[in-house]
């Protein structure tokens, strides 16, 4: 069973920065699309960012473009999300996810991802 473990969440003031990490126990991440989603109370889980298998191309939700950066270190089997210029509306539980199929890029739909972390809370105060 693949386990994804997130870390790095916390409380930060608006305008501040946080960095999240997600480490996979199995299934080397360099073969799968990796992504971040988030879910605020009372809302549906939404796509934040993804990094694809080929050419490490990245995709971002419009709401985070220019502020968040997704990256990965295959040698550590770990993915990262650097979040800058945080806003109160970024407050949510952040989840990392791994695509279903190797060597195939995934998009921004939840059903394209097979494994999920337990989530880490990010709270941005105004």
Give residue 56's pLDDT: 77
Q: What are phi and psi of 111, to 5 degrees?
A: -75, -5
- Residue 58 confidence class, pLDDT cut points 50, 70, 90: very high
The answer on pLDDT for 68 being more than 90 is yes
The answer on pLDDT for 19 being more than 80 is yes
Provide the mean pLDDT of the chain: 94
CA angle (86, 76, 108) in 5-degree steps: 50
The answer on pLDDT for 44 being more than 80 is yes
Helix (H) or strand (E) holding 119: none
Mean pLDDT over 11-24 rounds to 97
The answer on pLDDT for 2 being more than 90 is no
From edge to edge, which strands make up the β-sheet containing 4-7?
Answer: 4-7, 18-24, 78-83, 68-73
DSSP-based three-state secondary structure for 81? strand
How far does the chain reach from its first CA to its final CA, in angstroms? 40
Mean pLDDT over 28-56 rounds to 92
Mean pLDDT over 79-92 rounds to 98
- Residue 115 confidence class, pLDDT cut points 50, 70, 90: very high
The answer on pLDDT for 1 being more than 80 is no
């Amino acid at each position: 069973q693949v386990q994804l473990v997130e870390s790095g969440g916390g409380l930060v003031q608006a305008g501040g920065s946080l960095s999240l990490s997600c480490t996979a126990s199995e299934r080397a991440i360099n073969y799968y699309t990796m992504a971040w989603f988030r879910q605020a109370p009372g809302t549906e889980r939404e796509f934040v960012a993804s990094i694809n298998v080929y050419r490490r191309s990245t995709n971002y939700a419009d709401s985070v473009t220019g502020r968040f950066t997704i990256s990965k270190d295959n040698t550590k089997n770990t993915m990262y999300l650097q979040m800058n210029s945080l806003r109160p509306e970024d407050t949510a539980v952040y989840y990392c996810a791994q695509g279903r199929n190797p060597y195939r890029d995934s998009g921004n739909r939840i059903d394209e991802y097979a494994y999920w972390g337990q989530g880490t809370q990010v709270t941005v105060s105004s």
